[in-house]
């Protein structure tokens, strides 16, 4: 049985001053660095959208950030433009020891589908390839940290649990957007999926 630390979207746009800033998003960086230093395997995810991505409110006439829309795969929150491929906002937080990563998995690069989860895009069936990577390395146990607790960490953790991985979310090393009760909802969804939460 082998273990991996998954660090979700610790990118400038999700930190204070960024386009989709998560309150105190930068406070988790040093704790994550400490966990990475002793982890067996380290995987970073990176939200990586083309300009004009369909999850951006600016791509939908008459919509504002945080409005909802219907995509072909279901309801979707519309976000401010963020994590545009190659931009400073898409870069990892400067203090994150990103060089420690074995793998960086990028997601959200298809213009027409958003991807919160590190495993499947928001249509819940297009794979990112991470499952195959973990399985072929014999990794069965995951610790998850990062941003945002109620979106990308939540979706990643739930998918991992559904796929049969043993998943723990370190809540002290995550921060939430928390809109309209989304943090509490995410905690119930994760608990129901069998995700352990501690810290
Ligand atoms: C995220 C909203 C849009 C996240 C990514 O990393 O939680 N949230 N894109
Ligand atoms: Zn995004």
**Residue 129 pLDDT:** 98
Given a cut of 90, whether residue 166 has pLDDT beyond it is yes
Are β-strands 68-71 and 74-77 bridged in parallel, bridged antiparallel, or unpaired?
antiparallel
Given a cut of 80, whether residue 1 has pLDDT beyond it is no
CA-14 nearest atom, ligand 1: 6
User: What's the CA-to-centroid distance between 1 and ligand 1, angstroms?
Assistant: 30
Share above pLDDT 70 across residues of the chain, in percent, rounded to a whole number:
99
The catalytic residue among 13, 83, 107, 114 is 107
Per-residue pLDDT reduced to its tens digit, 77-124:
999 999 999 999 999 999 999 999 999 999 999 999 999 999 999 999
Q: In 3-state terms, the chain is what percent helix, strand and coil (to 5)?
A: 30, 30, 45
Instruction: Kindly report the protein residue whose alpha carbon is nearest to atom 8 of ligand 1.
Output: 151
Share above pLDDT 90 across residues of the chain, in percent, rounded to a whole number:
99
Given a cut of 80, whether residue 179 has pLDDT beyond it is yes
Mutate to test the pocket of ligand 1, among 148, 153, 185 (most ligand atoms within 8 A of CB): 148
The catalytic residue among 13, 47, 83, 152 is 152
User: What's the CA-to-centroid distance between 40 and ligand 1, angstroms?
Assistant: 26
**Residue 79 pLDDT:** 98
* Nearest ligand, CA 50: 2
107 is catalytic: yes
Residue in the block written with tokens 């600016």: 58
The string of DSSP letters for 153-190 reads IHHHHHHHHHTT-EEEEEEEEEE----TTHHHHHHHHH
Per-residue pLDDT reduced to its tens digit, 150-159:
999 999 999 9
């Amino acid at each position: 049985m082998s273990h991996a630390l998954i660090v979700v979207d610790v990118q400038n746009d999700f930190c204070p001053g960024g386009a989709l800033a998560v309150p105190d998003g930068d406070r988790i960086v040093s704790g994550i660095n400490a966990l990475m230093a002793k982890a067996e395997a380290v995987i970073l995810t990176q939200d990586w959208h083309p300009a004009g991505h369909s999850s951006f409110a600016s791509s939908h006439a008459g919509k504002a950030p945080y409005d909802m829309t219907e995509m072909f795969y279901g309801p979707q929150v519309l976000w401010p433009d963020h994590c545009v491929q190659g931009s400073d906002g898409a870069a990892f937080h400067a203090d994150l020891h990103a060089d420690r990563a074995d793998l960086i998995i990028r997601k959200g690069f298809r213009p027409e589908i958003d991807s919160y989860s590190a495993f499947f895009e928001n249509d819940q069936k297009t794979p990112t390839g991470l499952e195959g990577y973990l399985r072929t390395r014999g990794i069965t146990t995951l610790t998850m940290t990062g941003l945002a607790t109620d979106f990308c960490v939540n979706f990643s953790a739930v998918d991992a649990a559904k796929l049969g991985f043993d998943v723990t979310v370190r809540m002290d090393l995550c921060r939430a957007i928390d809109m309209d009760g989304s943090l509490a909802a995410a905690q119930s969804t994760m608990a129901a999926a069998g995700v352990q939460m501690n810290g």
